[in-house]
Amino acid sequence: ATAAVTVTQDSLLNVCMDAKHHKTEPGPEGQLYGQCVLWKDNACCTANTSLEAHRDQSYLYNFNWDHCGAMPEKCKRHFIQDTCLYECSPNLGPWIDQTDTSWRKERIRDVPLCQEDCEQWWEDCQDAVTCKVNWHKGWNWTTGTNQCPKGTMCQKFRFVFPTAAALCEQVWSGSYRYTSHHRGSGRCIQMWFDPAQGNPNVAVAQYYA
């Protein structure tokens, strides 16, 4: 029985999900760009994906952050970091879930985000403007990029997402879970970390696997 358990546990560690731009398995990427550089020692994303993650209208998903006017830079950096974590991290195995959409076979669900990462995201984005709670679906894509659907109103994040938990849990339909765990506790995934100190999310994935 132990052997079987180990196999399943190992299959959750150091893996890439089966999604649109992910590599089949993680490995070093010398040239990761900008905020994605944290993962260069072991990444599920390519250098090109990391570059595109920083563009306002990247070919990754043709997704436009500025759908209700320009998103402030201090807010945008959190969405870029969220994209880098999603595309590059090999430590999301315990939360990979099957999904069947045209563009991916797997997604993440309920990844326990560290409280500080979530609070700071909300703090820096509360004055940004959007028209939707769940950014995964329901957009008007007729122009080839996401636009607010008819009848929706652009409002500040703090009205659309009244709490940090609401933002982290709802914006990508349950991909993240707000936790009261703190950075460095080994119990929550950090969107931000100092790569010189190693990647803290390796231990978190092991704990939950």
Distance set, CA 91 to CA 44, 48, 119 (Å)? 10, 20, 22
Tokens of 109: 């669900």
pLDDT of residue 6: 52
Residue 8 is predicted with a pLDDT of 62
Q: What pLDDT shows up at residue 121?
A: 98
Give the predicted TM-score (pTM) of the model.
0.92
Beta-bridge mates of residue 177: 112
Which of 110, 114, 120 has its CA nearest to residue 182? 114
List per-residue pLDDT tens for the chain, 209 residues long: 455 445 466 789 999 999 889 999 999 998 999 999 999 999 999 999 999 999 877 778 889 999 999 999 999 999 999 999 999 999 999 999 998 888 889 999 999 999 999 999 999 999 999 999 999 999 999 999 999 999 999 999 999 999 999 999 999 999 999 999 999 999 999 999 999 999 999 999 999 99
